[in-house]
Chain A
């Protein structure tokens, strides 16, 4: 503020009323408000950009191109020698992709002798039809020999092409779908056989190298287990530690040191917690790698300082008059805390906990170190089983080359953001619901 010096010469002449720069003061206030609004708009602009970019790229992930054709479950292909009664492996190992390929080829009118075209047709169907058709047959062997109308997953490249994500103007050699396949795609679409459907698979499927069959199912379960472990461990431990530190511990050098360290721990880079978890839980305690139990323990360590800081702040915010009232009535310290102070601090504690959990839900780096960055196709049944987590799944998909993984990456981000929004809204509602005035 160097421009304040400009005091007029008439100051001494009129001692009753000095120039105190009212105009400048108001101008400064207006400027400050303008800065604030500018900063806010800037922030909102970037938030809008982020959301727009994620949603515009990701919303297509919730739709999936399917080819719906009559599929002939030919006994000739599945079980030529009629051995299925004696050999249970027969139905498991049959060549189901051939059935699907033949069905689509028939719908397109491709001759059975044209092997090159048949190969091209085969590329249009996802490899996951193998398990899809196998599951149908194993569940109901009666359908062998019949013809059923089945929605088959289109291959990821066809899916991308149909969604307009592949530029068809570039030369045929430089793209993954040939002109012939594009022609067939349009032919199937005109016949009503190829269309986009809601993609439930992205929520339920496990990892897959085929983008069309990949989903965050395993990651959701892994994240759920970890959140559960974090909540169950860090809330009671954190609240108990805070109550002791805030209400019971003597104020001395040692507790000061502990307080400083807790504040510092909250700022420790999360990857360090990952290393710690790797050394302690995996190497020393021998817990399995990639398990959500270990992930949950690591995230617990990471969340504890946040919860302790939030809880201590909430306990401090309870007016001393409430404590005095309870103590004056002859309540013991314990009764005072548990009957009066803790209930009043609860909204703050819960808010801090949910924000800590949301933070943990989005944490990636420590999970990479304990091996949760893994290809897990099967649902983990217990927290000891290998699994992944939502943010790690995003990280892995972001590294994939196929075009169809781009939309899935954004789709998974949308799912993660939805969870975070739900948790934060929950925190706000809890605070509103339990907030009390005194």
Chain B
């Protein structure tokens, strides 16, 4: 998006949207934590190069659904997923699929900034190193710089790449985590309330970043903030009590939703 004008980008992306190319398709996805059922037959498709926002009251299953997309739920004891989720038509819960490879393709940014207690450089370089993306030091330097630039952090940290990543401010840490996710060249980036621990200025920066990242990545973001969903996303999905209530264009969701519950939630009547 460097050379193209903003309007041209929007136009190109909108055209892509109308192509209805689904990056990930969720079919009858249900999740159980032991005996407890957390998700009920969710059918939700994620479009390529689109920001999809997942909204809903606490405990509605939006984070759970997000975590099924890169199988982070596997790490939770007693968690079971049924249904089918595909990434580019490959079933990600298939036995043939290597979860390590999947997570390299579907990256994740967490609620609380969680940089490794290592240098900024090492934070970025870790992913490419374990996936063998860099052949030598120069390659790695290049990946680190490109990732930090994508995350809009390069100018702020280029002079202190070898200082601790935990010494950055909260907003910078979160952008560092985004840069870290970007460094392994994923296709999809999952964000679990990435701004909930940030102040409004840092939030604005991260939102701007999400907007830019959309050109190259498919983004799914869980958020508690209606305004944020309206600002950053093109598609919005509303969850309630483990069920997908409605999924629609963001504009339509916030002006004229199909479902009464969506209307009520957006108007602040519950949740």
Q: Which of A323, A324, A329, A438 contacts B127 (CB 8 A)?
A: A329
Q: Does B205 contact A (CB under 8 A)?
A: no
Count of interface residues, chain A, beta-carbon cutoff 8 Å: 22
Q: Are B130 and A327 in touch, CB under 8 angstroms?
A: no
A180 to B232, CA, bound (A): 104
Interface-facing stretch out of B25-33, B107-115, B210-218, B248-256: B107-115
With CB as the reference atom, state the residue of chain B lying closest to A329. B127
B70 close to A (CB within 8 Å): yes
A233-257 vs B, CB cutoff 8 Å, 1 = contact: the mask equals 0000000000000000011000000
Residues of A within 8 A of B114 (CB): 319, 321-322, 324-325, 438
Question: How far is the CB of A379 from the nearest CB of chain B, in Å?
Answer: 46
**A261 CB–B CB distance under 8 Å:** no
A317-361: CB near B (< 8 Å → 1, else 0) gives 001011111111111100100011000100000000000000000
Question: Which of chain B's residues have a CB closer than 8 A to the CB of A436?
Answer: 117
Query: In the complex, what's the smallest C-beta–C-beta distance from A106 to chain B, in angstroms?
Result: 75
Residue contact A324 to B184, C-beta cutoff 8 Å = no
Q: Tell me if B184 and A329 are in contact (CB < 8 A).
A: yes
Chain B residues lying within 8 Å of A329, measured Cβ to Cβ, are: 103-104, 107, 126-127, 130, 180-181, 184
Flag whether A437 is at the interface (Cβ < 8 A): yes
Roughly how many angstroms separate A438 CA and B75 CA in the complex, as a whole number?
Answer: 22
With contact pairs A335-B130, A339-B126, A438-B166 given, residues A328 and B110 touching in the complex (Cβ less than 8 Å): yes
Chain A contacts for B206, CB-based, 8 A = none
Q: A251-B77, A322-B114, A322-B116 are in contact. Are A328 and B166 (CB under 8 A)?
A: no
Chain B contacts for A340, CB-based, 8 A: 116
Which residues of chain B in 168-188 are interfacial with respect to chain A, using CB atoms and an 8 Å cutoff?
177, 180-181, 184
- Shortest CB-to-CB span from A345 to chain B, Å, is 12
Per-residue interface assignment for chain B, residues 69 to 100, with 1 indicating a CB less than 8 Å from any chain A CB and 0 otherwise: 01010010100000000000000000000001
A327 touches B117 (CB 8 A): no
Name which of A325, A437, A438 has the most chain B CB atoms within 10 A of its CB.
A325
Enumerate chain A residues within 8 angstroms of B101, measured Cβ to Cβ: 330
Known A344-B117, A436-B117, A438-B166; judge A327-B177 contact (CB<8 A): no
Q: A328–B72 contact, CB under 8 A?
A: yes
With both chains docked as a complex, state the minimum distance between the C-beta of A141 and any C-beta of chain B, in angstroms.
67
Residues of A within 8 A of B231 (CB): none
Report Cα–Cα, A437/B110, bound state, in Å: 19
The reply to whether B184 and A330 contact each other, CB–CB distance below 8 Å, is yes
The CA of A319 and the CA of B116, in the complex, are separated in Å by: 11
**Shortest Cβ gap from B92 to chain A (Å):** 13
- Report how far A332 CA is from B98 CA in the complex, Å: 10
Residues of B within 8 A of A325 (CB): 110, 114-116, 177, 180
A438, B116: Cα distance in complex, Å: 8
Instruction: Tell me the bound Cα distance from A438 to B114 in angstroms.
Output: 8
Contact count A vs B, C-beta below 8 Å: 69
**Chain A min CB distance to B148 (Å):** 16
Q: A324-B110, A344-B117 are in contact. Are A330 and B130 (CB under 8 A)?
A: yes
For window 418-438 of A, CB contacts with B under 8 Å fall at: 436-438
Q: How far is the CA of A340 from the CA of B116 in the complex (A)?
A: 8
Interface string of B48-80 (1 = CB under 8 A from A): 000000000000000000000010100101000
Q: A329-B126, A330-B103 are in contact. Are A438 and B117 (CB under 8 A)?
A: yes
> With A321-B112, A335-B130 known to touch, is A328 a contact of B117 (CB < 8 Å)?
no
Do A327 and B110 touch (CB < 8 A)? no
**What's the Cα separation between A340 and B117 when bound, in Å?**
9
Which residues does chain A contribute within 8 Å of B126, judged by CB atoms?
326, 329, 331, 339
B131 at the interface (CB under 8 A from A): yes
How distant is the Cα of A328 from the Cα of B177 in the complex, in angstroms?
11
- Of all chain B residues, the one with the shortest Cβ separation from A323 is B75
Q: Which residues of A contact B108 (CB under 8 A)?
A: 324, 328
B67 to chain A, nearest CB (A): 10
Q: Is the CB of A331 within 8 A of B110?
A: no
Q: From residue A329, how far is it (CB to closest CB) to chain B in Å?
A: 4
Flag if B166 contacts A437 (CB, 8 Å): yes
Q: Which residues of B contact A322 (CB under 8 A)?
A: 114, 116-117
Measured CA separation A436–B103 after assembly (Å): 27
CB pair B127 A330 closer than 8 Å:
yes
Q: Which residues, 289 to 319 on A, are CB-close (under 8 Å) to B? A: 319
With contacts A324-B72, A339-B126 taken as known, whether A330 is within 8 angstroms of B100 at the C-beta atoms is yes
Minimum C-beta distance from B22 to chain A (A): 23
**A431–B184 alpha-carbon span in the complex (Å):** 34
Report which residue of A319, A329, A332, A340 has the largest number of chain B beta carbons within 10 angstroms of its beta carbon.
A329
Expressed in whole angstroms, the Cα–Cα distance for A126 and B92 within the complex equals: 85
Q: Which of B112, B115, B181 contacts A328 (CB 8 A)?
A: B181
- Shortest CB-to-CB span from B117 to chain A, Å, is 5
Distance of A328 Cα from B189 Cα, bound (Å):
10
Beyond A322-B114, A329-B180, A331-B126, list 14 extra A-B contacts (CB 8 Å): A319-B114, A322-B117, A324-B110, A324-B114, A325-B116, A327-B75, A328-B103, A328-B181, A330-B101, A330-B102, A330-B127, A331-B100, A340-B116, A344-B117
Which 4 pairs show the lowest CB-CB distances between chains A and B?
Answer: A330-B104, A321-B114, A328-B108, A330-B103
| CB pairs A–B below 8 angstroms (24 shown) | A250-B77, A319-B114, A322-B116, A324-B72, A325-B177, A327-B72, A327-B75, A327-B103, A328-B70, A328-B72, A328-B107, A328-B108, A328-B181, A329-B103, A329-B104, A329-B127, A329-B130, A329-B181, A330-B104, A331-B126, A331-B127, A331-B130, A332-B100, A340-B116
